[in-house]
Amino acid sequence: MIDIDSFNYSSIGGNTQNGYATQHQDNKAWALFGSVNHKLGSDFEVRGGLRVTKDKKDFHADRLQAPPFSPTFIGRRTANTDASNTSLDLSAIYSLSKTTNVYARLATGFRAPSIQGRLLFGDTVSVADSEKVTSFEAGVKADLMDRRARVAFNVFNYTIKNQQLTAVGGAANFNQLVNAKKGTGRGFELDFQMLATDQLLLTTNGSYNKTRIKDKDLGVQPCSGGCTVLDPAGAKAGTVSIDGNPLPQSPEWVWNLGARYSFPLAGGEGYVLADASYRSKINFFLYEAAEFTGKALTEIGLRGGYQFGNGKYEAAVFVRNLTNQIRVVGGIDFNNLTGFINEPRTYGVQFRANF
- pLDDT average per 10 residues of sequence, the chain (355 residues): 88 80 93 95 95 96 78 80 96 96 97 88 86 98 95 98 87 79 97 97 98 95 85 89 95 98 93 98 94 95 95 95 96 83 96 92
First-to-final CA distance of the chain: 34
Question: Is 15 part of any domain?
Answer: no
DSSP secondary structure letter of residue 43: S
Q: Which residues contact 136 (CB under 8 A, 6 or more apart)?
A: 104, 105, 106, 156, 157, 158
Question: Is 72 part of any domain?
Answer: yes
CATH no. for residue 337?
A: 2.40.170.20
Residue 116 burial (C-beta neighbours within 10 Å; 0-12, 13-18, 19+): buried
Helices (H) and strands (E) in the chain, counts: 0, 22
User: Strand locations in 215-337, DSSP E?
Assistant: 219-220, 240-241, 253-265, 268-279, 282-283, 293-294, 297-308, 313-320, 328-332
Question: Is 9 part of any domain?
Answer: no
pLDDT at 70: 65
Question: Is 41 part of any domain?
Answer: yes
Question: Is 260 part of any domain?
Answer: yes
The total domain count for the chain is 1
- Among 180, 92, 94, CA closest to 136: 92
pLDDT at 149: 97
- Among 180, 209, 170, 177, CA closest to 289: 170
Question: Is 31 part of any domain?
Answer: yes
CB atoms within 10 A of CB 228: 12
Give this prediction's pTM. Answer: 0.87
pLDDT at 237: 86
d(CA 353, CA 197): 28
Domain holding 100, by residue range, is: 27-353
d(CA 221, CA 237): 9
Question: Is 194 part of any domain?
Answer: yes
pLDDT at 172: 59
DSSP secondary structure letter of residue 197: S
Question: Is 32 part of any domain?
Answer: yes
pLDDT at 80: 95
Please give the torsion angle defined by the CA atoms of residues 172, 177, 182 and 183, in that order, rounded to the nearest 10 degrees: 80
d(CA 104, CA 260): 33
d(CA 172, CA 65): 18
CB atoms within 10 A of CB 6: 17
DSSP-assigned beta bridge partners for residue 211: 185
Pairing state between β 240-241 and 131-144:
unpaired
